[in-house]
Amino acid sequence: MVKGLAERRGWAHGRHRESYQVVDRLAQETGDPLIRTLFDVANALHSNFYENWMSQAFVENGLGRIREFLEMLEKLL
């Protein structure tokens, strides 16, 4: 969803650094810093997919936060 929003706006998004820049721009655009926090949650879950270091409780909590993140981003489409 982050890359889709970047694509629509003509922003670079091919690298991890650029994804963070996109999220930062979206937070500035909306005035809502929670976008950054929720992106951090998404990034942690992505890392956990490969490393499997989170407990089930962390993953379940994170998934709830990701739903919130996607709802925020959907409003920006």
Write down the domain spans for the chain. 2-74
**pTM, to two decimals:** 0.90
Q: Which two tokens stand for residue 3?
A: 């890359």
Q: Which residues contact 11 (CB under 8 A, 6 or more apart)?
A: 18, 21, 22, 25
pLDDT on residue 37: 97
pLDDT tens per residue across span 39-56: 999 999 999 999 999 999
Helix 16-30, helix 34-51: angle, nearest 10: 150
Cβ neighbours of 8 (radius 10 Å)? 10
pLDDT tens per residue across span 14-35: 999 999 999 999 999 999 999 9
pLDDT on residue 72: 96
Q: Which two tokens stand for residue 66?
A: 């990701």
